Amino acid sequence: MDKKDLLSESLARIMVGYLPHIHDLTKQYPSAPEKNKLDGSPVTALDLALSDLIEQMSLKNFNNSIYYSEEKFSKWGFPLMAIDPLDGTREYIKGRPEWA
C-alpha cells in the first residue's frame, strides 16, 4: 500500500473522530456574522473556529507537518496540510445549505 493511501485512511479515521466537535461548532455558530479578510472576502466565526479545531487536530496527529489554512496563513513548506475549513462561506452566510 502506498504511503498516500495510508495517510488518507488515517486522516479519514481521525476526521471521523472529530465529527462531534465539528457538529458542536456548527450548533454554536448557527448564523453567520461576518467580517472581511484583507483580500475583501468574507470570513465568519465558524470559519475561524473550524480552522482552530483542525489546526489542533493537525498538531496532535501530524506534528511534523506545516498547517496552512485559508483563515490562518503560516509559513510554507513540506509536508504541508493546506485546508479551507469551511468551503462555501458565502452560501453559509446566505443561509443556503451548500457549504461543507
Q: What is the DSSP string of 62-92?
A: -TTSEEEESSS-----SSEEEE-SSTTHHHH
The secondary element (H helix, E strand) that includes residue 21 is helix 3-28
Cell representation of residue 42 = 468574507
| Position 4 confidence tier, pLDDT thresholds 50, 70, 90 | low
C-alpha cell at 77: 513548506
Distance CA 26, CA 29 (A): 5
- Which range of 8-22, 24-38, 80-94 scores highest in mean pLDDT? It is 80-94
Q: Strands, E, within 1-100: which ranges?
A: 34-36, 42-44, 66-69, 80-83
Residue 54 has pLDDT above 80, yes or no: yes
